[in-house]
Copies of this chain bind each other. A is one copy, B any other.
Amino acid sequence: MKRDIAEQKFLDEYDPSDYPPIAVAVDAVVFGISRSAPDNYRKLGKQSLNILLIRRSEYPFKNKLSLPGGFVLPDETIDETAKRVLKAKTGLNEIYCEQLYTFGNINRDPRMRVISCAYIALVDAEKTRINNAEWAPMDMIKNEELAFDHSAIIMEALKRLRGKINYTDIVFHMMPEKFTISQLQEIYQTILEKELLPAAFRRTIAHKITQTDEFTHNAGHRPSRLYRWNGADGEITVENR
């Protein structure tokens, strides 16, 4: 873009420090399903929907659990902040991640005015190695006092996840590469917190998955057919915008 002299003068005289300071942070809600050990040979272990939390070692909210987050630096886009923060604080890299909502209540941070741009990320929790963070089950989080407004951010993220599993393929980012239909159904049920009818569920997801030639071979179970998500295309990273 070419600028005329008057515009250049305007820009030269513009002093950003004339304005009240404000900061922009990113906070990430990373969802994963954990499959706890089967409690007997008939039933699969109960699954739970988990979120990755970090215990804060610094003020404010020292010792409280919080979402992984950090400030947007001058030379990075918000998406880049999300990637950097996730990698630095949890070890996660190259995962599915999208912007959720921007939270701007005035006193959400006691340090200064901080506006938080929240992201959601989905991983296969069984496969993913994490550092310095812990998986917290949704049931526990609902009763825990988290740092900042992170409880409200998580509730918004859960709402988005529940909406999106019905009209997108987002859920497959939480699945192993191969899975049974009942395993997939259980994940839907865990997220939606309701029972689904197997026949109706199969119809809903039929076009999203392809059967493989493989079967489960767990002792005590009849073998079940393994399926694969049609849309899997290797690495999925933060959307660019």
Contacts and interface: CB of A to CB of B under 8 A. Distances in A.
Interface of A: 1, 3, 6-7, 10-11, 14, 16-17, 19-24, 59-60, 62, 71-79, 99, 101-106, 110-113, 115, 117, 152, 156, 167, 241
A105 B106 CA distance: 24
A20 B78 CA distance: 15
A59 B154 CA distance: 40
Contacts of A7: 59-60, 62
Contact of A11 (B19, B74, B111, B167): B111
Nearest to A112: B16
B72 A104 contact: yes
A78 B104 contact: yes
A106 B76 contact: yes
B17 A23 contact: no
Contact of A77 (B104, B110, B241): B104
Contacts of A62: 7
Contacts of A115: 24, 72, 78, 115, 117
Contacts of A21: 16-17, 19, 21
Given A21-B17, A22-B22, A103 B10 contact: no
A162 to B, nearest CB: 13
Given A102-B78, A104-B79, A19 B23 contact: yes
A58 to B, nearest CB: 8
A19 B23 CA distance: 8
A32 to B, nearest CB: 25
A54 B79 CA distance: 29
Nearest to A26: B104
Closest 4 CB pairs of A and B: A78-B104, A16-B21, A16-B112, A10-B59
Contacts of A111: 11, 14, 16
A78 B24 CA distance: 12
Contacts of A78: 102, 104, 115
Contacts of A16: 21, 23, 111-113
A78 B102 CA distance: 8
